[in-house]
Amino acid sequence: MSDKKEADYEVGQDNIQIMGLDIHNPVFGVSGLTIIAFVFFSLVFQEEAGEFFGWLRPALTSNFDWVFMIACNIFVLFCLFLIVTPYGGIRLGGKDAKPDYSYAGWFSMLFAAGMGIGLVFWGVAEPISHYGSSIGGTAAENGVRTDWAPLGAAAGDAAASRDLAMAATIFHWGLHPWAIYAVVALALAFFSFNRGLPLTMRSVFYPLFGKYTWGILGHVIDVLAVFATIFGLATSLGLGASQALAGLNYLFGVPVSDGMKVLLIIVITVFALVSVVAGLDKGVKRLSEANMILAAVLLLLVLVLGPTVAILTGFFDNMVAYVKELPALSNWVGREDTNFMQGWTTFYWAWWISWSPFVGMFIARISRGRTVREFIVCVLVIPTIVGALWMTVFGGAALEQIMGDGGAALKDAALELKMFKMFEAFPLTGILSFIGIILVVVFFVTSSDSGSLVIDTITAGGKTNAPTAQRVFWCVLEGAIAIVLLLGGGLGALQAAAIATGFPFAIVLVLMCLSIFIGLTRERRK
């Protein structure tokens, strides 16, 4: 007997139609009104909002770092378990299901949605930050860490410092974040395609909570998913706006101000609206493919114009360092480098978790026809390798400059300007910087449009063909939240909002692993 028959629940049965809209009651109303109220009060009480967000992030990361660390380790181990067990042979959509998209289109969409702006923003900034002063939490001497003991690098050894900086960077963009996405995406795809349940977060928990999934408990789960998604997206949109404006200032002298950031967010949100209206296949898919081509062009240019040999050899060294340091970086007990663990790792895990409803549902929608094993390998392992390559090319080129004689300006530059400062040492500086700006903008658009599609699906009770006006509403609201968070506290406020919404959802995802296991076990018995 299928879960759908057991549940006796149809997609949209709780929906109501108002003025041409098809919304899920009460998820749409509670989510929309709460977020609108948040935007209003954050604009009216900007000073108070800034103080609150300034307190919120360190409060969460210092008290609940162990929750994020344990949860994300569980996700990685669970995904590896599915790869090597017979559960990996189960096909999403049934044994006769065929993939809806080619590998090229599939990879383009999942990668553009899964990492996006973050890779461009942190590709240069994060390795430099770790090399200079992050891990260990005390001052550096001549740009080289002298207190690497917690993770085992030799004191004063520049090469060891570089390897550890790259290992820590890849750690934040490797197996752990993609395991978070894989768990959510697999759960949604399996219970929707194999069990016929609505493509919404509550459906995943039917094996655990039964009929209560369709009541208040389910409403709470879906509302949490909406909050996590929209604030996680707002963080990325804020990062993207800051970096794009820094690049425009660097190339064309455009003034850097809150007003210009707001204008930039508005303009790019308009582009996202066009893509949202076009739909998944005509808008999001084509834009994602164009985005990946542009990213590949920039990657190849940096590789060819930069220290090519050092970058290529560094990739293998970085992967070895990542595997070697993975146990220490994943450990949360007795860590002396709490500044690094709480300030970087805990924030990242919360950010990825807040993104997981959005990215997970988006990946689920495009993954019908894949086996569980194929799905996990492609969503977990391959993006980790590609992300490591990206970080190696950009971070490796930047560290070569830092370790040489000409890296002072790069080291001292603001986070959002570091990539453009790195390009100053390359031929074709202007072209590289212009491509970088365009890439940030397009990543901005693909994140916003695909995020709007996902939030709309959740708030429409699992419907994937809800009226266009609803997608437009959520796209506009994402931009509004990014604006008020920037005005109310800048980057710190954005990060605090992502952590606050990611914390409760971390518990939801742990329960999701159990629900997936129960569902796959029943499927094998069938």
pLDDT tens, residue order, the chain (526 aa): 445 445 555 544 555 555 455 565 688 888 888 888 877 777 777 777 777 877 877 888 788 899 999 999 999 999 999 999 999 999 999 888 898 888 877 877 776 656 666 788 888 989 988 886 546 333 333 333 333 333 444 445 677 788 889 999 999 999 999 999 999 999 999 999 999 888 888 899 999 998 888 888 888 888 888 888 887 777 777 777 887 888 888 888 888 888 888 888 888 888 878 777 776 556 566 776 777 788 889 999 999 998 899 899 999 999 999 999 899 899 998 887 888 888 889 888 988 898 888 788 888 888 899 999 999 998 888 888 888 999 999 999 999 888 876 677 788 888 888 999 999 888 888 999 999 888 888 877 777 777 777 787 888 777 666 677 777 888 888 888 878 777 766 666 667 777 787 888 899 999 999 999 999 999 988 7
- CB atoms under 10 Å from CB of 342, counted, come to 21
The dihedrals phi and psi of 48, each to the nearest 5 degrees, come to: -65, -40
DSSP character at residue 188: H
DSSP 147-186: --GGGTPPTT-HHHHHHHHHHHHHHHHSHHHHHHHHHHHH
Query: How far apart (Å, rounded) are the C-alpha atoms in residues 228 and 234?
Result: 10
- DSSP bridge partners of 23: 16
* pLDDT score for 152: 40
DSSP 58-89: HHHHHHSHHHHHHHHHHHHHHHHHHHHSGGGG
Helix 175-189, helix 382-403: angle, nearest 10: 160
- The two tokens of residue 317 are 């060294």
- CB atoms under 10 Å from CB of 146, counted, come to 15
* pLDDT score for 138: 36
* pLDDT score for 279: 61
Structure-derived torsion over alpha carbons of residues 122, 177, 503, 244, reported in degrees to the nearest 10? 30
* pLDDT score for 520: 95
pTM of this structure: 0.85
Taken in order 73, 357, 351, 371, is the CA torsion positive or negative? positive
* pLDDT score for 143: 35
| The 3-state secondary structure of 301-332, one letter per residue | HHHHHCCHHHHHHHHHHHHHHHHHHHHHHHCC
Query: How far apart (Å, rounded) are the C-alpha atoms in residues 429 and 410?
Result: 14
CA distances from 483 to 42, 469, 515 (A): 10, 21, 37
Domain ranges within the chain, ordered by starting residue: 3-525
Taken in order 38, 41, 44, 46, is the CA torsion positive or negative? negative
- The two tokens of residue 501 are 């919404």
- The two tokens of residue 246 are 């820094």
Can you tell me which residue has the tokens 């990213």? 295
Nearest to 251 by CA among 417, 47, 79, 27: 417
Which CATH entry fits the domain spanning 3-525: 3.30.70, 3.40.50, 1.20.1740, 3.10.28? 1.20.1740
